[in-house]
Amino acid sequence: MNLTRNVILGVVFAMLLCVVPKANAVDSYWDKLELRARAGAYFPTEKVVKDLSDVWGAIGLDIAGPGLFGKNSETVLSFDLYNRNWGRGHNTVFPIILGENFTVTQSSISDFRLYVGVGVGMVVGDVGGPSNSKFAARAVVGLDLTDKIFLEGSYLVTDRFNAFQGTTTTRGNGLTAMLGYKF
């Protein structure tokens, strides 16, 4: 129950942050949103989390819109789920990040686009229970391979959260490598 409540509160908070900067241009803003799905792997760097497994599954959903810093930027609201044992209890890291991606280079003869980004938000960590909501930040490097398919790598940094029924603390820090599709 606590995990569900924290996730819902986090989603509402992140969506408000995403919408407020563009409130004066609501109609045109909503028309420019893009939905993206990602899947890949999460490689935890914290010992407590890494001891459970060196590689976790990772899925993500992004909502991207016009950037706050001009035509070479985009604002992205990301929901990710990193899980060690899908559907079987604890061991999840669920970051919700609001970030800004910046185009580094755009090919004039193909759809290749290299971008970097940074973002902040929250993470719901549940490694052996109970779940905790803490601050999180992420750095991103991505490459659009076509107008629909992209590769993305990121590094997540989180605040400490309780693990294993409060007997220890850990962070959700780690690398991700994902392949994505733009709808």
pLDDT tens across 129-150, in order?
A: 777 888 999 999 999 998 899 9
Evaluated on CA atoms 148, 72, 141, 49, the torsion sign reads: negative
What's residue 70's pLDDT? 81
Of 10-19, 66-75, 82-91, which range is least confident? 10-19
Rounded to an integer, what distance in angstroms lies between the CA atom of residue 162 and that of residue 167? 7
Rounded to an integer, what distance in angstroms lies between the CA atom of residue 144 and that of residue 179? 10
**Which residues is 143 bridged to in the sheet?**
114, 151
What's residue 10's pLDDT? 60
Mean pLDDT of the chain: 82
Rounded to an integer, what distance in angstroms lies between the CA atom of residue 136 and that of residue 118? 11
Condensed to tens digits (0 to 9), the pLDDT of residues 85-97 reads: 765 666 888 999 9
pTM of the model: 0.79
Give the contacts of 70 (CB within 8 A, at least 6 positions apart): none
What's residue 52's pLDDT? 82
The amino acid occupying position 124 is V
Whether the predicted pLDDT of 1 surpasses 50 = no
Per CATH, is 2-182 categorized as 3.30.460.10? no
CA end-to-end span of the chain:
32
Share of the chain above pLDDT 90, in %: 45
